[in-house]
């Protein structure tokens, strides 16, 4: 979790050891068909990877990222849905905000290993839902932590997982370009200057040909016209090469 002095373990549960804490769970975690979060009334079940804020006298002290990238069960005391400008984000995010006060029971201190949790996290990656507060250089470590917590190995070399991440992480100033192509090459580019894209969106940003062969025709045409008008470079797809032969 975040710094140890913010939380304490007693018996089978984790309690808040700070004056106040707020969990900012993206609302689209609940709306995703993959099920990254579920509201069950007195409990919320979800992937423990989202922003959390620590407060004192209603003033923000520090923002952190809850780094428990597997299925956790959280108790609900106060909950509201509102738009929040999260760290590193350019625009507000609609979040389910859970508020805890000192001494509140937050969650169980143990995690049940389940291979389905690794599958759910894979969907999280492929949906482009890793929080913007996670630095690009830490994404691979968090994915490995998910597998370790659930006693799972995906059975592929690490380079394959890194390739998947490199595709979903895009240069926020040019979504047609992978972020890995600019990360580390320019001192003005930080570890957070990316925008994640879902696997479904990648063809939209890569080339006009791949966009027009995808299912969401309207948005693909719009993106392709904008790309042409702005004279942006395009990647040639393997299928396009075959057709031209």
Structure tokens at 210: 């791949």
Question: For the ranges 12-16, 107-111, 187-191, 221-225, which has the lowest average pLDDT?
Answer: 221-225
Looking at the predicted structure, is the pLDDT value of residue 152 above 60?
yes
Please enumerate in sequence order all residues whose Cβ is within 8 A of that of 46, keeping only pairs 6 or more positions apart, or say none: 25, 29, 30, 36, 37, 38, 71, 72, 74
| pLDDT (0 to 100) of residue 230 | 52
> What pTM, to 2 d.p., does this model score?
0.82
Residues 99 and 122 in one domain: no
Looking at the predicted structure, is the pLDDT value of residue 220 above 80?
no
Q: What does the alpha-carbon distance between residue 163 and residue 165 come to, in Å, rounded to a whole number? A: 5
Residues 89 and 165 in one domain: no
Residues 73 and 174 in one domain: no
Confidence label for 43 from pLDDT (cuts 50, 70 and 90): very high
pLDDT tens digits, 188-211: 899 999 999 988 787 766 655 444
Considering only residues 213 and 15, tell me which one the structure prediction assigns the higher pLDDT.
Answer: 15
In the block, residue with structure tokens 């057709």: 243
Q: What percent of the chain has pLDDT over 70?
A: 81
Q: 55, 74, 108 — which closes off a domain?
A: 108
Residues 202 and 135 in one domain: yes
Q: What does the alpha-carbon distance between residue 90 and residue 232 come to, in Å, rounded to a whole number? A: 23
Q: 57, 89, 108 — which closes off a domain?
A: 108
Residues 122 and 233 in one domain: yes
Residues 121 and 149 in one domain: yes
Strand partners, 98: 23, 79
| pLDDT (0 to 100) of residue 209 | 45
Number of Cα atoms under 13 Å in the Cβ half of residue 125: 24
Looking at the predicted structure, is the pLDDT value of residue 96 above 70?
yes
Q: E strands of the chain, at which residues? A: 7-10, 13-16, 20-26, 37-39, 43-56, 59-75, 78-84, 93-101, 105-108, 169-171, 174-178, 194-196
Residue 108 CA: distances (Å) to CA of 4, 93, 141, 142, 243: 16, 27, 23, 20, 56
Over residues 61-68, mean pLDDT: 96
Owning domain of residue 134: 115-244
Q: 108, 143, 178 — which closes off a domain?
A: 108
Residues 147 and 104 in one domain: no
Q: What is the mean pLDDT of the chain?
A: 85
Looking at the predicted structure, is the pLDDT value of residue 1 above 60?
no
Residues 181 and 210 in one domain: yes
Confidence label for 238 from pLDDT (cuts 50, 70 and 90): very low
Q: What does the alpha-carbon distance between residue 220 and residue 49 come to, in Å, rounded to a whole number? A: 31
Residues 184 and 130 in one domain: yes
| pLDDT (0 to 100) of residue 20 | 98
Over residues 39-66, mean pLDDT: 96
Q: What does the alpha-carbon distance between residue 20 and residue 207 come to, in Å, rounded to a whole number? A: 48
Residues 238 and 123 in one domain: yes
Residues 103 and 121 in one domain: no
Q: Which of 21, 47, 9, 243 is nearest to 150 (CA)?
A: 47
Total domains, the chain: 2
Burial per residue of 13-35, b for 16 or more beta-carbon CB atoms within 10 angstroms, e otherwise? ebbbbbebbbbbbbbebbebeee
First to last CA, the chain: 55
Q: What does the alpha-carbon distance between residue 88 and residue 152 come to, in Å, rounded to a whole number? A: 31
Residues 131 and 184 in one domain: yes
Confidence label for 74 from pLDDT (cuts 50, 70 and 90): very high
Q: What does the alpha-carbon distance between residue 131 and residue 49 come to, in Å, rounded to a whole number? A: 7
Q: What does the alpha-carbon distance between residue 224 and residue 200 come to, in Å, rounded to a whole number? A: 15
């Amino acid at each position: 979790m975040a710094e140890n002095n913010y939380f304490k373990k007693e018996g089978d549960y984790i309690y808040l050891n700070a004056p106040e804490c707020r969990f900012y769970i993206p609302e689209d975690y609940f709306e995703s068909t993959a099920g990254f979060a579920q509201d069950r009334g007195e409990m919320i079940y979800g992937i423990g990877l989202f922003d959390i804020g620590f407060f004192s006298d209603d003033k923000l002290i520090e923002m952190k990222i809850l780094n428990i990238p597997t299925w956790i069960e959280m108790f609900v005391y106060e909950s509201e849905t509102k738009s929040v400008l999260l760290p590193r984000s350019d625009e507000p995010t609609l979040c389910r905000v859970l508020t805890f006060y000192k001494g509140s029971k937050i969650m169980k201190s143990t995690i049940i290993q389940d291979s389905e949790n690794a599958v759910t996290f894979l969907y999280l990656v492929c949906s482009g839902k890793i929080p913007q507060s996670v630095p690009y250089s830490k994404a691979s470590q968090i994915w490995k932590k998910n597998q370790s917590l659930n006693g799972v190995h995906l059975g592929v070399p690490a380079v394959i997982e890194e390739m998947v991440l490199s595709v979903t992480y895009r240069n926020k100033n040019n979504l047609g370009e992978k972020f890995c192509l600019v990360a580390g090459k320019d001192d003005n580019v930080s570890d957070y200057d990316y925008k994640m894209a879902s696997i479904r969106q990648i063809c939209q940003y890569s080339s006009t040909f791949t966009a027009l062969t995808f299912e969401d025709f309207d948005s693909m045409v719009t993106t392709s016209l904008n790309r042409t008008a702005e004279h942006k470079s395009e990647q040639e797809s393997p299928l396009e090469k075959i057709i031209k032969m």
